[in-house]
């Protein structure tokens, strides 16, 4: 397959959308061009990886076209209010998924389901009152991922119908963690210098679109529960666009989490490249997460303490309902017996010991204990060693 050409990708998206031409806010274009350059020059993609990412980019662009078309035809979509979102952030492997899924047992929260994040735009043949065809499509995609990389389930409990990250929504702005797919250092260095508020503004539009869809299906929640570690380096932009957001930050020693994260990323890189370098994955993601935590700590120093609720991973694992009750007290919502029972049932049915162990070592990814202690010293001093 030839080089990634923005003009060709945009044209294919227009063709597949039936001739739609409005991609919405133009801020995505510089990010797209920088990403494509990195994919061509740095990512060492296999033929399969190049094809998969080519299709994914066309799909993202096509979604943008269809979102704009929906919003023009149905102005009520942009009247949806995204109020007081509860946003879970923290390093990967710190219990963020568990907290999000337990909180999503409460019908007062809108959950971000994996299939919705993966496929935010309804297909043209969707029929009200019948099963959404996106759900079965997402199930098939998850099955294919697990068959191709069985170790994924030992790292992350992937499930098409469970709550998961909004990170796939953020890909639509092309200001996102696309380094999870391949090594693109030039693109990521460029991202660090950018204003991410336009990306969060587009995330808000997609949340309005999904909330409108949920309400069409009869959901009557009060607020979203969102989750992704990728908000850590851009927390300032998050609060600019969602000024009434509340953040739950999870904490665990990076010496335990970073090697596990690097194993996950290297596994994903292996889908798209035959030459995925574990040491490169380790170096990049360790450095990135250290910068992300430093950035988050700096932003926190500028904001009222009452915007943040801190949770230790050991507490989430050992006494999850105590943690949940503390979160509800923090956000000022009553925790009913009915909701508590639903949460306890979910916890009983989704114990970690039901999944295979995740085997890895720091050395596999060119990491050492001394280096991790040095790179994460500020964070560890405040949240691990205190």
Query: Whole-angstrom Cα distance, residue 268 to residue 145?
Result: 10
Structural contact between residues 206 and 172, judged by C-beta atoms closer than 8 angstroms:
yes
The yes-or-no verdict on residue 287 having pLDDT over 90 is: yes
User: Which residue did the predictor score with more confidence, 44 or 352?
Assistant: 44
Contact between residue 53 and residue 181 where contact means Cβ atoms under 8 Å apart: yes
Query: What is the pLDDT at residue 131?
Result: 86
Q: What is the pLDDT of residues 289-325, one digit of tens each?
A: 999 999 999 999 999 989 999 999 999 999 999 999 9
Start-to-end CA distance of the chain, whole Å, equals 53
Nearest to 89 by CA among 165, 195, 156: 165
**At what angle are helices 96-103 and 320-331 packed, to 10 degrees?**
70
> In terms of Cα–Cα distance, which of 381, 356, 227, 212 is closest to 294?
381
Can you tell me whether residue 177 is helix, strand or coil? coil
Residues 6+ apart with CB under 8 A from 142: 114, 158, 159, 160
Report pLDDT for 100. 97
Q: What is the pTM of this model?
A: 0.95
- Asked if 90 and 247 touch (Cβ cutoff 8 Å), the reply is no
Q: Could you report the per-residue pLDDT of 128-159, keeping only the tens digit for each?
A: 778 899 999 999 999 988 887 777 666 778 89
Residue 127: per-residue pLDDT = 76
Q: Which residues of 28-66 are buried (b: 16+ CB within 10 A; e: fewer)?
A: beebbebbbbbbeeebbbbeebbeebbeebbbbbbbbbb
DSSP conformation letters of 72-105:
HH-GGGGG----S-EEEEE-TTSSHHHHHHHHTT
Which residues form the domain of 269? 84-182+193-383
Cα–Cα distances (Å) from 255 to 30, 39, 231, 280, 380, in that order, read 36, 30, 21, 18, 9
In a domain, 67, yes or no: no
Q: Is 314 inside any structural domain?
A: yes
Is 257 among the domain residues?
Answer: yes
Q: Which residues pair with 41 in a beta bridge?
A: none
The pLDDT tens digits for 164-186 are 999 999 999 999 999 999 999 99
How does pLDDT run across 337-376, given as a tens digit for each residue? 999 999 999 999 988 666 556 567 899 999 999 999 999 9
Q: Examine residue 369 and state whether it is found in any structural domain, yes or no.
A: yes
In a domain, 16, yes or no: no
Taking only the tens place, the pLDDT of each residue in 1-26 is: 579 999 999 999 999 999 999 999 99
Per DSSP, the three-state class of 120 is coil
Q: Dump pLDDT digits (tens) for 97-109.
A: 999 999 999 999 9
Q: Report the mean per-residue pLDDT for the chain.
A: 94
Asked, for residue 295, whether it belongs to a domain, the answer is: yes
Whole-Å CA distances, 68 to 6, 75, 172, 186, 324: 19, 10, 12, 30, 38
What are the angstrom distances between the C-alpha of 131 and each of 124, 216, 217? Answer: 14, 13, 11
- Is residue 150 included in any domain, yes or no? yes
For the segment 115-139, the average pLDDT, to the nearest whole number, is 90
Can you give the pLDDT at residue 386?
65
Which pLDDT does position 205 carry in this prediction? Answer: 98
Q: What is the pLDDT of residue 353?
A: 65
Alpha helix positions (H), the chain: 6-16, 28-41, 47-73, 96-103, 114-118, 133-148, 152-155, 167-170, 185-192, 197-216, 235-241, 254-272, 278-302, 313-318, 320-331, 337-349, 369-375, 377-383
* CATH code of the domain containing 206: 3.40.50.300
pLDDT tens, position by position, 183-235: 999 999 999 999 999 999 999 999 999 999 999 999 999 999 999 999 999 99
Q: How many domains does the chain have?
A: 1
Two structure tokens written together for 240: 């600019």
Would 302 be classed as within a structural domain?
yes
Instruction: Say if CB 376 and CB 254 are below 8 A apart.
Output: yes
Cα–Cα distances in Å, from 282 out to 241, 244, 286?
32, 35, 6
């Amino acid at each position: 397959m030839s080089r990634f050409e923005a003009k060709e990708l945009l044209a294919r998206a227009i063709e597949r959308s039936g001739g739609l031409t409005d991609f919405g806010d133009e801020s995505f274009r510089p990010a797209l061009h920088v990403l494509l350059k990195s994919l061509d020059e740095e990512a060492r993609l296999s033929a399969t990886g190049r094809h998969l990412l080519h299709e994914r980019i066309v799909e993202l662009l096509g979604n943008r076209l269809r979102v704009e078309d929906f919003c023009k035809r149905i102005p009520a979509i942009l009247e949806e209010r995204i109020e007081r979102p509860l946003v879970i952030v923290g390093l990967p492997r710190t219990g963020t998924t568990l907290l999000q899924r337990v909180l999503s047992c409460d019908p007062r929260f809108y959950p971000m389901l994996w299939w919705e994040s993966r496929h935010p735009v309804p297909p043209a043949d969707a029929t009200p009152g019948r099963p959404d065809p996106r759900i079965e499509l997402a199930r098939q995609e998850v099955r294919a991922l697990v068959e191709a990389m069985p170790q994924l389930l030992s790292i992350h409990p992937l499930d098409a119908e469970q709550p998961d990250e909004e990170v796939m929504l953020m890909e639509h702005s092309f200001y996102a963690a696309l380094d999870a797919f391949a090594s693109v250092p030039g693109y990521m260095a460029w991202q660090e210098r950018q204003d991410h508020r336009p990306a969060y503004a587009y995330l808000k539009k997609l949340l309005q679109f999904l909330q409108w869809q949920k309400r069409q299906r009869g959901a009557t929640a009060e607020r979203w529960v969102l989750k992704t570690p990728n908000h850590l380096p851009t927390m300032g932009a998050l609060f600019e666009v969602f000024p009434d957001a509340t953040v739950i930050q999870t904490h665990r020693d990076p010496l335990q989490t970073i090697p596990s994260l690097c194993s996950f990323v290297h596994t994903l890189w292996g889908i798209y490249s035959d030459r995925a370098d574990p040491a490169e994955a380790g170096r990049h993601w360790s450095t990135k997460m250290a910068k992300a935590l430093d950035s988050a700590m700096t932003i926190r120093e500028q904001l009222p303490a009452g915007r943040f609720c801190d949770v230790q991973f050991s507490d989430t694992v050992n006494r999850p309902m105590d943690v949940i009750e503390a979160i509800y007290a923090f956000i000022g919502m009553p925790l009913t017996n009915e909701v508590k029972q639903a949460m306890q049932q979910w916890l009983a049915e989704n114990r970690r010991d039901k999944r295979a162990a995740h085997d890895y070592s720091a050395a596999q990814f060119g990491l050492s204990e001394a280096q991790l202690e040095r790179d994460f010293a500020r964070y560890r001093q405040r949240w691990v060693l205190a």
